[in-house]
Amino acid sequence: MIPKFRKFSCPYCGEEITPGADRCEGCLTSFTQRDLPQPTEKESLQKDIMTKKMREFISQKHPAIIVKKNSSVHEVIQKLQTAPHHGCVLVCDDHDKLIGIVSIRDLLHRVAGTIKYEETARTPVEKIMTPNPQTLPKDATLAYALHNMAIGRYRHIPIVENGVPIGVVSLRDIIPYLGRK
């Protein structure tokens, strides 16, 4: 019994073609690249989100602000005032390991209205920091970072190498990149 083939026609000229043919005999159009997926702009962005690494978003121009756990809240406020492009300060122990983070939101919720200005010079940052913050390695993907930030409802994520912070990635760093795509 001879197998029956379904009839196909060339998408360009409409002529009947043999199944499995590499080109149309009528218009000589090649079919070899036709079935390969071509990324659209949306798919290109999705690919970038899945493959871009956090190391590409760490700002070399604005390195992270790092303080020791016994630094005063007043010192943290001053550092943030002199660096308005930063939204947080990383807190490290005596071995430079990350132990906490203080964001502007933390200052608003834990300091404003609760600690008098005069007391900020005597209050260690350790008392108001968010301890053991979520961190990511520099090879984590953008998708993973965005997922963690959305689930944890935070805007800054420290990037660490062996527990030592090498930078901070914030939504402020990511949004312009996504907007260019």
HEC states along the chain? Answer: CCCCCCCEECCCCCCEECCCCCECCCCCCECCCCCCCCCCHHHHHHHHHHHCEHHHCCCCCCCCCEEECCCEHHHHHHHHHHCCCCCEEEEECCCCCEEEEEEHHHHHHHCCCCCCHHHHCCCEHHHCCEECCCCEECCCEHHHHHHHHHHHCCCEEEEEECCEEEEEEEHHHHHHHHHHC
Identify the pLDDT of residue 160.
95
Per-residue pLDDT of the chain (181 residues; tens, 9 = 90+): 555 656 777 777 788 887 777 777 777 776 665 554 555 655 778 888 888 999 998 877 788 999 999 999 999 999 999 988 889 999 999 999 999 999 999 999 999 888 888 899 999 999 999 999 999 999 999 989 999 999 999 999 999 999 999 999 999 888 888 887 5
* The domain over range 51-180 is classified in CATH as 3.10.580.10: yes
Whole-structure pTM value: 0.72
Enumerate the domain spans of the chain. 1-36, 51-180
